[in-house]
């Protein structure tokens, strides 16, 4: 039931995640931004195998490595139906489904807004979740396919998880997100949180993962008053040059 997560930077600003179920040694990758980088990380980990791909949505920086990784490892590919627009997929999952990796179970939750079929994977026992491009540290995904109402609902479903839940976001956008957050929120604790983020990035350190508690406290999208306020904030962020 214990999981080990290896997080690594790839492409321009994506994070890749390898996950091992410690009891059985089974290994999954969350999304496939870069097959070469994922194969290198498997090598570096010494874990020696890839059993499962968990796709969050169909975008190329999340599914681009599916075909090669399947060909090289024979792994099973799980994801939302929309992945078939871009890449091979073996098993379609929907809201409430469980996906097993050895002794670990991930619960699928539908979180549309960035794309129509976007899903997240949460290990309830591990108190962690892989949230793709729905929520970022101090940010949220752009509304490429869905409506602001859908995204507001998706963010609130994540916000309903326990505050200690660790959130593995798929991109490092946090410094830019922090500048936007500061434009809306001048509380001293917000300023301190942003300063810590800027300092981490100066040192080249990741700001992912985050937690539900940190996002509840500081994420300007979770802190919107209602769906209309969320929509206005999302539109302002799209045009923000900070
Ligand atoms: Zn995306
Ligand atoms: Fe992405």
Active site residues: 57, 59, 61-62, 114, 133, 171
* Dist. CA 121 → ligand 2 center (Å): 15
Q: Is 80 a member of any domain? A: yes
Structure confidence at residue 193 (pLDDT): 98
User: CATH number for the domain including 172?
Assistant: 3.60.15.10
Cα separation values, 141 from 115, 151, 188, 241, Å:
9, 9, 26, 17
- Domain of 185, in residue numbers: 3-237
Whole-model pTM: value is 0.98
Structure confidence at residue 48 (pLDDT): 95
Residue 53 has pLDDT above 80, yes or no: yes
Instruction: List residues, by chain if needed, whose CB lies under 5 Å from ion ligand 1.
Output: 59, 133
Which ligand sits closest to the CA of 33? 2
Residue 84 has pLDDT above 80, yes or no: yes
Confidence of residue 1 (pLDDT cuts 50, 70, 90): low
* Dist. CA 14 → ligand 2 center (Å): 7
Q: Is 25 a member of any domain? A: yes
Instruction: List residues, by chain if needed, whose CB lies under 5 Å from ion ligand 2.
Output: 61, 133
Which ligand sits closest to the CA of 59? 1
Q: Is 77 a member of any domain? A: yes
Structure confidence at residue 242 (pLDDT): 73
Q: Is 198 a member of any domain? A: yes
Q: Which helix (H) or strand (E) holds 203?
A: none
Q: Is 189 a member of any domain? A: yes
- Where helices occur in the chain by DSSP H, the ranges are 35-45, 60-63, 66-73, 148-159, 174-184, 188-202, 212-218, 227-238
Q: Is 184 a member of any domain? A: yes
* Dist. CA 180 → ligand 1 center (Å): 20
> Count of domains in the chain?
1
Residue 135 has pLDDT above 70, yes or no: yes
- Where helices occur in 48-146 by DSSP H, the ranges are 60-63, 66-73
Q: Is 242 a member of any domain? A: no
């Amino acid at each position: 039931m214990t999981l080990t997560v290896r997080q690594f930077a790839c492409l321009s600003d994506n994070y890749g995640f390898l996950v091992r179920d410690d009891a059985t040694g089974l290994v999954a990758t969350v999304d496939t931004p870069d097959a070469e980088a994922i194969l290198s990380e498997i090598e570096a980990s010494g874990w020696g195998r890839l059993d499962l791909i968990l796709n969050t949505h169909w975008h190329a920086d999340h599914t681009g490595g599916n075909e090669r990784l399947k060909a090289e490892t024979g792994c099973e590919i799980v994801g939302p139906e929309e992945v078939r627009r871009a890449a091979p997929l073996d098993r379609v999952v929907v809201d409430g489904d469980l996906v097993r990796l050895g002794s670990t179970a991930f619960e699928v939750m539908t979180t549309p807004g960035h794309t129509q079929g976007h899903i997240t994977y949460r290990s309830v026992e591990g108190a962690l979740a892989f949230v793709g491009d729905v929520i970022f540290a101090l940010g949220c995904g752009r509304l490429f396919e869905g409506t602001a109402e859908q995204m507001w609902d998706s963010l609130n479903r994540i916000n309903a998880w326990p505050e200690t839940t660790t959130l593995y976001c798929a991109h490092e956008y946090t410094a830019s997100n922090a500048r936007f957050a500061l434009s809306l929120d001048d509380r001293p604790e917000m300023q301190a949180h942003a300063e810590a983020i800027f300092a981490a990035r100066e040192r080249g350190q990741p700001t992912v993962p985050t937690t539900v508690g940190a996002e509840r406290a500081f994420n300007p999208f979770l802190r919107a008053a209602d769906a209309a306020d969320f929509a206005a904030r999302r539109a302002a962020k799209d045009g923000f040059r900070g």
